[in-house]
Chain A
């Protein structure tokens, strides 16, 4: 009974988010609306205990749910094969660049904050 109530809570948040997505004039993904909505509910009426088992199940098996989306790559082998090398280069370069720029930006912000305090 406990689990079924938790499923009902999370699924109905997802459903409401799909309605909001349909009403919004911009293309804001329903799953992200659901995340924001759940965060708001957790800061107000809902307690983590109300959805703990279901959310643990979803979060700890997160990777599993992406298998079908990943497998659909077999329909796009030609696209992937034609751009494999650039794709790998893009992944390496953007990962290193994002790491460095983020780390330096955070360091700079924290230093400025410290200077202000002292």
Chain B
């Protein structure tokens, strides 16, 4: 029986169906909380646990999907390149904002993990959680973190960012669209960027640029603390 589930086709099909259900639910409800990726992870995990299918069997297909992570990350270059003019015109605020943002994110996570006495493995898994998933996974891996915890933290952060963004813009009285966009991108990567696009074109473009720039900066800063 278990050999049937060890086919890569099983894991891939299950993932696609779960993701499609997630996308459907998101469209129906329109709620940020119904993130398609989060729903897909919960559904696949539930199927594996209920049917007692070992993770290793699912991962035959999972490994194939995982292979696309590096090419997908590489293609973030395309989304930066299409906004290269905007990057050239605003390079200083972008550089300052993303540097300060990445350091604040990593610093606050470090401090809070110390405060809650979480162990080193969890701390390094959370450290890159404000950047986009593919880069966060790479950073977490090279620091010796647990990828799964990083992915979950990145998604939770993204959802929080997209829910809170309109509120935060008002509370902190950010009238400058460049500042608002960079701030949203720096704290909640691609999930937040979809919200930033709803706030305005400049906000969306700046948020999109912040994803790539914060990603590269976070990798550089993580090198300083790498073991």
Contact = CB atoms under 8 A, between A and B. Distances in A.
B37 A63 contact: yes
B41 interface: yes
Interface in B157-185: 157, 160-161, 164-165, 168, 172, 174, 176, 178-180, 182-184
Given A70-B37, A102-B104, A91 B129 contact: yes
* Most chain A CB neighbours (cut-off 10 Å) among B62, B93, B148: B148
Interface residues of B, number: 100
Given A31-B69, A98-B187, A67 B44 contact: yes
Interface in B182-227: 182-184, 186-188, 190, 212, 215-216, 219, 223, 226
A37 B44 contact: no
Contact of A10 (B16, B71, B80): B71
B120 interface: no
Contacts, number: 296
Interface in A61-118: 62-76, 79-80, 83, 86-107, 109-110, 113
B48 A34 contact: no
Interface of A: 10-11, 13-14, 17, 26-32, 34-39, 42-43, 48, 51, 54-55, 58-59, 62-76, 79-80, 83, 86-107, 109-110, 113
Interface of B: 11, 15-16, 18-19, 36-38, 40-41, 44-45, 48-49, 55, 58-59, 61-63, 65-66, 68-82, 84, 92-93, 96-98, 100-101, 104-105, 108-109, 112-113, 116, 118, 121-122, 126, 129-130, 133-135, 137-139, 141-142, 146-149, 151-153, 155-157, 160-161, 164-165, 168, 172, 174, 176, 178-180, 182-184, 186-188, 190, 212, 215-216, 219, 223, 226
